[in-house]
Amino acid sequence: MTAVLHQFQFSHYNEKARWALDFKGIAHQRRSLLPGPHMLPMVRLSGQKSVPVLSWNGDVIAGSARIIDALEKRVPEPALYPADEQQRRAALETAAWFDDELGPQIRRAYFYDVLPGSTWAAECFLFGRGALAKAAYRAVFPAIRAAMMKDMQIDAAGAARGIETTRIALERVAEQARATGYLVGDRFSVADLTAAALLSPATMPPEFPYPIPEPRCAGLDTWLARWQGHAGLAWVREIYRRHRGSTAEIPT
């Protein structure tokens, strides 16, 4: 049975799962959902409301870290987990830090800049949809935006913490990868994939699989300007350039 990734187009955790599927060359379909309306079908499918969710051969796997773990077991090569036990432990610990500490915080800070006062964020989820679907989602987006801000606790204090955590994460990758170009050992691993995917909102690398909606909102320019010139961004761009590769998506 073909693997199906239930996803948001613009989401760093979803990008992490997509990247793992593409890196391993696992043919899959992508079902892109809209924030808000996605919740009911995801609860029915997986018992929880978040994406990404992978359906594959009768299994339903929710969450990017669990998806990667399942992919490693089913398709061991090319490997994302280092063969050396000590390096494997270090890679998983590094990935967990970015998942738990950076992921929610950078999302909160990013949305604080791009959600208020604009429907630009809605356009990020509408790539490839028809005119009627776009019009309907734009009409209800103000209510969805309010729900998103409440659910993710998006406020000035949370944004400030998110900005600081993002800065710490960028400094961490710049320092930790200084010797070899990679966060653990001398080859690409789950640590690099996780860190680069979760930091992708700070730089919007050209290899990201969906186009940035134009015209851009002023909040996005404000957000991106914060990080320009940081050495950590150069690392994110280089990891994307080297390892994002071609897609394994099967068009539907």
- CATH code of residue 26: 3.40.30.10
Q: How many CA atoms lie within 13 A of 90 on its CB side?
A: 14
User: Is it the case that residue 117 has pLDDT exceeding 90?
Assistant: no
Asked if residue 124 and residue 52 are part of one domain, the reply reads no
- Asked if residues 131 and 41 have their Cβ atoms less than 8 Å apart, the reply is no
pLDDT at residue 116 above 90?
Answer: no
Q: Is 117 in the same domain as 236?
A: yes
What average pLDDT does range 51-68 have in this prediction?
98
Per-residue pLDDT, 98: 98
Q: Which domain does 69 fall in, by range?
A: 3-74
d(CA 98, CA 22): 21
Q: How does the average pLDDT of the chain come out, rounded? A: 96
Convert the pLDDT of each residue in 4-50 to its tens digit: 999 999 999 999 999 999 999 999 999 999 999 999 999 999 999 99
- For residues 136 and 227, membership in a common domain is answered with yes
Q: Are residues 95 and 51 in the same domain?
A: no
The structure tokens listed for 119 are: 């429907």
Q: Is the pLDDT of residue 133 over 90?
A: yes
Assess whether 35 and 123 both reside in one domain: no
Each residue's pLDDT tens digit, 65-115: 999 999 999 999 999 999 999 999 999 999 999 999 999 999 999 999 999
Residues 90 and 31 reside in one and the same domain: no
- Are 70 and 184 contained in the same domain? no
